[in-house]
Chains A and B, each alone.
Chain A
Amino acid sequence: MKRLLLALALLLAPAAAARAAEPLVADLSKHLVAITTGFAGTDVLLFGAIEEVDGGKTGDVVVVVRGPNKTETLRRKDRAMGIWINSGIAKVDNAPSFYQVASTRPLDQLASPAILGRHQIGLDHLDLDIRVKDGGADQAQYRQALLRLNQKKGLYGDRALDIGMLSQRLFRTDVHFPANVPVGVYMVEVYLMVDGQVISAQTTPLVVSKIGIGADVYDFAHHQAAIYGIIAIALAAFAGWLAAVVFKKA
């Protein structure tokens, strides 16, 4: 929530972002990712400029895109009586639903683990609260599993050298949102780093939301579940009857 307020404050103060003296300015090509009926994933362009600092040094840019936190339940299969069944469980209370990092250089060359950890930059520096209830696997294994599963879905990633620089001052990167992207208010954090320190940072909110018929169907299914169920049955019964009539004539 604090992060959201900060982001809104930044958004509502365009003068601050536009001021030329700022060492870092950045913006997104769009602030809304609309999940429509035809949605199959999308790219959002992040672009900006950095100023020279302290006698001609140019910094590095790191971009972190974070989805809203959620509780993830992980289960581990083990062999019992010859078959593989779920036998261990872990809950992660503060797992970001989406987490992508892009940077101009590999993260370990940019700053110390302490600095990266403080800002939670990079998959290895994510602060995850994992509660394990499993005799056969530990927290570290569950942590690796969570990162691996979400990377496979395209929801997590930290890619170095994915930010393009133009004349040492302008930068751009594409943030990819796959078709299975979770909805919510995202935070796009842009960091300017010089000599292992964060010199400047900027946060911009990005809304991922279902729009159109798909969103209406989802809302209806959740808020008017009984009517939705009846309509689903009526639609199916009508379609079945129609098919029988049409094919009898043919």
Chain B
Amino acid sequence: MQIYLPIAEMSVNVFVILGLGGGVGFMSGLFGVGGGFLMTPLLIFLGVPPTVAVGTEANQIVASSVSGVLAHWRRGNVDVKMGLILTLGGFIGSTLGVYLFRWLRGLGQIDLVISLCYIVFLGIVGSLMLVESIQALLASRRNGGTVPVRKKHQHSWMHGLPFKMRFRRSQLYISAVVPAVIGLFVGILAALMGVGGGFIMVPAMIYLLGMPTSVVVGTSLFQIIFVTANATFLQSTMNHTVDVVLALLLLLGGVVGAQVGARFGIKLKGEQLRSLLALMVLGVCLKLLFDMVTVPGELFAAGTGGKH
């Protein structure tokens, strides 16, 4: 069954889009990630214009993070104060990101920047995660199931910064500048890449801020809601690239897939999940890298707008 997407201005098979939403939703439920880093490249691969893919994916992530944050909220795993500081930075960052997006689109280099961002960040995060999870897997085998506890509250240059604040849920007393800057940086990337940014936010919260793992996912989801909502709003008003019909189809498949995935996820061990996720992240990264270095089948591309 074909359906015409009013903003993307193309006709797609409803079941392909539902299946895509379901498949990526399954992954996100299984691994506890947003899935934007998979969905945006897949949409572009299907022929959706990259600008529409990025804008629409921001809209869909609003839905999946609202759905995800509620479960964490009930268990009290959201540090609202930390979330708000991250959101403040994220708002500024995503606004800058959308302006940057528009500027790069005018230059005709937006596709390149999107691809490079994906390759660099997926490469870094994927490799780190793979190394860490393999070490954890080996350690758990050696120690008969126990994983060594990481040392927390290391003192560093960050503790010398002003605007210190107490974050009760995270059991931290740190400068508000650090989370605000992290939020800003992730906000820019989220707007440029059409992702929530959880895959950068979560490691940053654990390793840079030293937040306890229990509140990390809930707080990151909390912040992602507002950052992607801001990106959705700006992409709709400035670039007209949010397709609600596509977003609704994707999230319909996505929520069902996420629930199924979450149920499968319980059966797997944390380290196993992380190493699988790392392999998938690296897979996407290598595919994009491969496309950039091999000779393209078509050297020319058409697009409207842009400076001469």
Contact = CB atoms under 8 A, between A and B. Distances in A.
A35 B225 CA distance: 34
B237 A225 contact: yes
B302 A146 contact: yes
Interface string A196-215: 00000000000000100111
A214 to B, nearest CB: 4
A38 interface: yes
B132 interface: no
B300 A142 contact: yes
B176 interface: no
Contacts of A210: 6
A16 B299 CA distance: 49
B240 interface: yes
A85 B298 CA distance: 12
Interface stretch (A52-60, A71-79, A163-171): A71-79
B306 interface: yes
B70 A228 contact: no
A131 B308 contact: yes
A243 interface: yes
Interface string A24-68: 000000000001111111000000000000000000000000000
Interface residues of B, number: 58
Contacts of A149: 298, 300-302
A75 B308 CA distance: 10
A236 B59 contact: yes
B233 interface: yes
Interface stretch (B61-69, B150-158, B269-277): B61-69
B300 A71 contact: no
A221 B59 CA distance: 14
Given A74-B300, A149-B302, A229-B232, A36 B4 contact: yes
A231 interface: yes
A89 B108 CA distance: 9
B172 to A, nearest CB: 28
Contacts of B2: 38-40, 179
B308 A77 contact: no
A77 B302 CA distance: 11
A79 B299 CA distance: 10
B248 interface: yes
B247 A73 contact: no
Contacts of B292: 83-84
A228 B299 CA distance: 36
A85 B3 CA distance: 33
A142, A149, A225, A243 — most chain B CB neighbours (10 Å): A243
- In order of increasing CB-CB distance, the 10 nearest A-B pairs are A240-B66, A229-B236, A179-B11, A145-B300, A243-B255, A240-B67, A40-B2, A240-B63, A236-B62, A236-B63
21 contacts: A37-B4, A40-B11, A41-B11, A71-B304, A72-B302, A73-B305, A86-B109, A89-B308, A133-B308, A145-B300, A149-B301, A180-B10, A213-B6, A218-B6, A235-B244, A236-B251, A237-B63, A240-B66, A243-B258, A247-B255, A248-B71
Interface of A: 35-41, 70-79, 82-86, 89, 91, 131, 133, 142, 145-146, 148-150, 179-180, 210, 213-215, 217-218, 221-222, 225-226, 228-233, 235-237, 239-241, 243-244, 247-248
Interface of B: 1-7, 9-11, 59-60, 62-68, 70-71, 108-109, 111-112, 225, 229, 232-237, 240, 242, 244-245, 247-248, 251-252, 255, 258-259, 292-293, 295-296, 298-306, 308
